[in-house]
Every structure is written in C-alpha cells, then in structure tokens.
Amino acid sequence: MNAVAEGRVFPELRAAKRPMIILGSAALARDDGPAVYAAALKIAQSTGMFRSAEGNEPAWNGFNVLHSAAARVGGLDVGFVPAPGGRDTSSVLTGTQVGSIDAVFLLGADEIDPAKLGKAFKIYIGSHGDRGANAADVILPAAAYTEKDGTYVNTEGRVQLGERAVFPPGEAKEDWAIFRALSAVLGKTLPFDSLTELRAKMYAAVPHLAEIDKLPTPGPIAPNDAGLVGALGSAALTAPSADFYLTNPIARASAIMAECSSMFSRPRAMAAE
C-alpha cells in the first residue's frame, strides 16, 4: 500500500494533464474509512492532482468523493455535520440504546434499522417514508421533491434550483416550514418567515450557493484533512448497495424501479443456480 500511496504504481497518473481519483462513499463508510481516505489523498498529492492556476492553465483539483445520498454534498456545504462534541450517526444510535438520548428526528432517514433506536421517541419528517415512518411515534408529513422549491447540489458541485410542480397534498408542508413552526413552539423561533428570507440567510452564510448552475472553482485540500487515520483493513471493497434500483424510499415506492430490480436480480439468481 505504501507503493500505491506514493504513486509508484500509477505512472499514468503522474503523466496525465489532469489526473483524477473518484473515491466511492462506500469505501469511507467502513471501519477503516479514514485510513482509506488518507491513502487516496496521498495518491492524489503524490501524482499532482492539486494544482494552482498557472498561465493559461486553470486551477485543478482531481480528488473527488462520490456520495451515495441525494443532497449530501449540499448538506456538507452548509455545515450539516456534528458540531464539536456532537454525535455522529453511530453515537446517536448508541445513545438511544443506553437511554442518554430521549428523542430523535428522522429527516427522511429510512436506511437506519429502527430496532437500533431503542426506546427513544421518534419523530419522522419526510414524504415517501418506509422504515423510518413505520417506526415513528409521530409523523410530520413533508412535501415531496416535486411539491416544493428546492436548492440542490449535483455531483459536479453545481448548485441548481428545483421548482414546485404541484402542491403537497393534505397537511404536508415544505421542510423549512415544518422547522419554522417547530422552532416557534419550542421558544427558539428561527429568524425567517418565508423561503425568500431563508435563502437570503443561506446565501449570506454560504455565498457560493447563490452561484446557480456555475461550476465551483477548485480549492486546495490541506494535507491533514484525513483526521484521525488508523490502519487499513484487509477486507475487499464492496458496493454500497445490494440492489441499485431500490436504494431509497422513493425508488422503493416505484413500480418501475421494482420491475428494474426484478429484471436485474433474475439473471444473477439464475447464475447462482
């Protein structure tokens, strides 16, 4: 692995005009994820993937992480991560099981085993909920992506706006409206009363989110971005999902995706026989 990390087995990368690595999020979700990230980052650094603008050549950053969840990049952009001293998903689950966390908000969280949430009071906010909604004590119905205006960040890092096609049914509301109402009930009223006001504050906090449909300028990555590393494991890298067509509740609610899943799994089952 040292030879790999030093780039000695990648002469093509060293010679490339714009070398690139695409690191799948499944590789980072392993127990040795930080070590995998650190090794990939070292490859990038040793093969010239981080370059400043020079002459007519623009800056280049060829180090990429391909996320498996919609809006995760946008969430990272706005800092939707545990605060210092906060809990990540694993520690939240532990807290619900030992009783140190009494309540949890599931923001469209359907990929978590509800049995791991212990006796915590569960509030589900989403539109196509399956696992999370079925386990919830309270459901606050949110608008689907076709029923609300939204800001999205695609796999290139471009910020894009989605426009509402239809109004949400029944008592469903846009997510921001749900949290604005909750904040008032809890005595911690959020400082906006409309989507326009919310977006203004979002743009002030994260200016590049106002650069609609523009490719972001590559930025440098500090050598210590890998954090606490640890050792690389010996297990093989695997795909993040056993069934690509049913990776989220929206897909699982689709008859077309169910048919695609069936067509995909049938040849594999026949081959296994």
Name the residue ranges covered by the structural domains of the chain: 1-62+219-231, 83-217, 241-273
Q: What's CA 28's distance to the chain center, in Å?
A: 12
Class at the top of the CATH hierarchy for domain 83-217:
alpha beta
User: Which parts of the chain register pLDDT below 50?
Assistant: 7, 270
pLDDT reported for residue 266 = 62
Half-sphere exposure of 53 (CA within 13 A, CB side): 6
pLDDT reported for residue 108 = 83
pLDDT reported for residue 144 = 92
pLDDT reported for residue 267 = 58
pLDDT reported for residue 89 = 86
Q: Which own/partner pairs from 206-215 qualify as long-range (CB within 8 Å, at least 24 positions apart)?
A: 206/77, 206/78, 206/79, 208/77, 208/159, 209/74, 209/77, 209/78, 209/151, 209/153, 209/159, 210/159, 211/159, 212/159, 212/160, 212/161, 213/158, 213/159, 213/160, 214/158, 214/159, 215/156, 215/157, 215/158
